Amino acid sequence: MLRKTLIAVAILAGAAQPLLAADKASDPKADFKAFREYFTKRFPKVALDDFVNGPYSMDAGLRKQWEAIDAFPPYDFVVDKGKQMFAAPFKNGKTYGDCFPNKGVGIRQDYPQFDAKSGQVITLDVALNNCREANGEKPFDYNKDDMAALTAYMAFTSRGKPMNITIPKDPRALAAYKKGEEYFYTRRGQLNFSCASCHVQNPGNHIRTEVLAPALGIMNAMPIYRSTWGGMGTVSRRLRTCNSQVGAEPLPAESDEYRNVEYYLSYMANGLPISGPGTRP
């Protein structure tokens, strides 16, 4: 009986299919316009640059607490640690700064990037590990504190700089963008939620105890210091938590899907200021 139901579901799913993904040509510029209009129309009282402050742009009570905490934020120590790590030379005498333009200062807004050589999206976290490996150092765990501290410091040096993501004229770059979009809108996990279920359809609403952040500008605050974690966490750590929260097994940190969705969301946030490292409940 059970099996019959399954088959019935499958047939049902296959039959009623008005739209096909292939029908829609990828047009990041049009996506960008529609995405922005959706949020600004839905939240006319939220200043555009304020979306990067996530749930605090949606809830006055939360905002007041955040402002009190952010006046002297607990992540100060993490940013300082990141600064020291960033300046400390590798065994070969080189530093992280040697791997990046402008010695790595004030460049966080340019990530993720599409890398023509590898044909893949390179996030800041991946670029940092590439830098380590190129200099004979072991890569950091993408979910752990060292990577969080480094990216927190780099974000800090980019505070206020507008997100600046480019999609080069390369079909692979467009494909990565499109894959990111697909990942964002695809429902998954036992709860049958997509990223968009929470961060497009329900920003500002409570889910269990949390106020959901809007998808617009959500990457600008990364990495984030969460009171729940009692520490700074990377983009990978947050994405994996998102997956778990909807009953889906998390993917490996910085897997294609995660890098692509970061690429997509960051492109959507182009022009909005970097606010990372952010604080979140």
Of 137 and 182, the one with the shorter C-beta distance to other proteins is 182
Distance between CA atoms of residues 246 and 72, nearest Å: 33
Among 4, 21, 88, 117, binds other proteins (CB under 8 A): 21
What sign has the CA pseudo-torsion 243, 29, 178, 129?
negative
Of 69 and 99, the one with the shorter C-beta distance to other proteins is 69
Q: Is residue 252 a contact residue for other proteins (CB under 8 A)?
A: no
Among 28, 43, 54, 66, binds other proteins (CB under 8 A): 66
H/E element holding 279?
Answer: strand 278-280
* Per-residue contact string for residues 179-218; x = within reach of other proteins by CB under 8 A: --xx--xxxxxxxx-x-x---x-------xx---------
CA atoms within 13 A on the CB side of 251: 14
For residue 83, the minimal CB distance to other proteins (Å) is 6
Which position among 131, 195, 198, 242 bears the catalytic label?
A: 242
Sequence-ordered list of residues with C-beta below 8 angstroms from that of 54, at least 6 positions apart, any chain: 213, 214, 217, 218, 221, 278, 280
H/E element holding 171?
Answer: helix 171-185
Q: Is residue 17 a contact residue for other proteins (CB under 8 A)?
A: yes
- 105 burial (CB, 10 Å; 0-12 / 13-18 / 19+) is middle
Of 8 and 134, the one with the shorter C-beta distance to other proteins is 8
Of 4 and 117, the one with the shorter C-beta distance to other proteins is 4
**The pair of three-digit structure tokens given for residue 20, joined into one six-digit string:** 């096909």
Among 72, 88, 138, 169, binds other proteins (CB under 8 A): 72
Identify each DSSP E strand in 68-157 by its residue range: 113-115, 120-122
Among 123, 143, 234, 275, binds other proteins (CB under 8 A): 275
Site for other proteins in 31-50 (CB under 8 A): 31, 34-35, 38, 47, 49-50
Of 7 and 134, the one with the shorter C-beta distance to other proteins is 7
Of the listed pieces 70-78, 90-98, 109-117, 165-173, which binds other proteins according to CB under 8 A?
70-78
Size of the site for other proteins (CB under 8 A): 76
- Is 242 known to be catalytic? yes
Site for other proteins in 96-155 (CB under 8 A): none
Distance between CA atoms of residues 206 and 213, nearest Å: 10
Sequence-ordered list of residues with C-beta below 8 angstroms from that of 265, at least 6 positions apart, any chain: 180, 184, 215, 218, 219
Residues with catalytic annotation? 242
